Structure 1
Amino acid sequence: MFELHQAVASENYDLVLELLQCNKCNVNEKDFKWDCRTPLHWAAARGQTEMVRILIEHGARPCLRNNSGWTPAHFAAESGRLEVLHLLHSLHAPLHKEDCCGDKPVRIAEIYGHKECVNFLKIAEAESMEYRKMAKEKGIKLDDTDEEWEEQKKEVEQNQRKQDQKDDTASVPK
């Protein structure tokens, strides 16, 4: 685990601020040993609302995904972290993204029985989509896409199609 990831996970606000203010780390670095989580994923999962705010103020991107396609909103929804979800929504973070299984944060909250989160996310997702529509119309650029994850997803899908074609060809009688 990288130093900033550790500082966030252990709730060491002083060290986090020191690392961020001195530019000693990449706030969006993905930890490959921990499913490509960023420090923001850790803070959201742990319900560290102020830490989430600090990280985003220092350039953390709430659209970044881990290997499963989870955004910080997915992690907050899994843990029932309603305050974090409120903050992410207020900052126009994407709350509507599907993971690699097609689940949005609202579905994750449903699975884990976090009813308050479910109710909030249903409303927030609709508001978020409306904001995105307005932003597009007005030419406001949103940081909504994890390009690296999207590229990996395309590669996986292409490889799966190739494998499916091979399987279809192999099963055809000669």
Structure 2
Amino acid sequence: MTAGYEIHKMADVTELHQAAALGDYDLVSEILKKGLHDPNHKDIDWNDRTALHWAAAKGQSDTVKLLVEYGARPCLRTDIGWTPAHFAAESGKLSVLRSLHYLHAPIDATDIHGDSPRRIAEIYGHKECVKFLET
């Protein structure tokens, strides 16, 4: 593999993170279709977040589903143990929590401090998310 290919491949991964962080479903879809990415790449500059973490935080249920279709693993954790469900709970994104549950993603895992997504939703006052995560 040439160095040029490696740089191009990494640029696409960064582009995937950026598109997910912007909540741009069409751009995420376009990048995934290229096939030069790793949807599970952890961005070390952002605490090991994957594109799926970003999509969950932004409340992009359709993007979450798309990323999982293309092999994104919803069980991957950041450096402090947050799953995509933690990010959805922090920002009160109930639709994403429902999507993650539907996709059989872990929605009750604890981080390195022992906090579950339900606890994170409680801390941030997202009552609907708390109610959903209790059932």
TM-score norm. by structure 2 comes to: 0.88
% identity of equivalent residues: 61
Q: How many residues align?
A: 123
Larger Rg belongs to = 1
Alpha-carbon distance, 1:14 to partner: 2.5
User: Would the aligned equivalents of 2:25 and 2:62 in 1 still touch at CA under 8 Å?
Assistant: no
What pairs up with 1:108-119 in 2 under 5 angstroms? 108-119=120-131
Alpha-carbon distance, 1:63 to partner: 0.3
Amino acid of the structure 1 residue aligned with 2:120: I
Alignment partner for residue 61 of structure 2, among 41, 44, 49? 49
Alignment partner for residue 45 of structure 2, among 33, 47, 51? 33
- Off by >6 Å, runs of 4+ in structure 1: none
Q: Over aligned residue pairs, what C-alpha RMSD do you find?
A: 1.1
Which structure 2 segments of 5+ residues have no match?
A: 1-12
C-alpha distance in 1, partners of 2:108/2:21? 25
Equivalent in the alignment of 1:86: 98
User: Would the aligned equivalents of 2:23 and 2:58 in 1 still touch at CA under 8 Å?
Assistant: no
C-alpha distance in 1, partners of 2:28/2:15? 9
Q: In the TM superposition, what whole-angstrom CA distance separates every residue of 1:53-85 from its partner, at most 9, and x where no partner exists?
A: 111111111000001100000000000000000
Matched, 1:14 2:7: no
Amino acid of the structure 2 residue aligned with 1:97: A
Alignment partner for residue 60 of structure 1, among 72, 89, 107? 72
Alpha-carbon distance, 1:13 to partner: 2.3
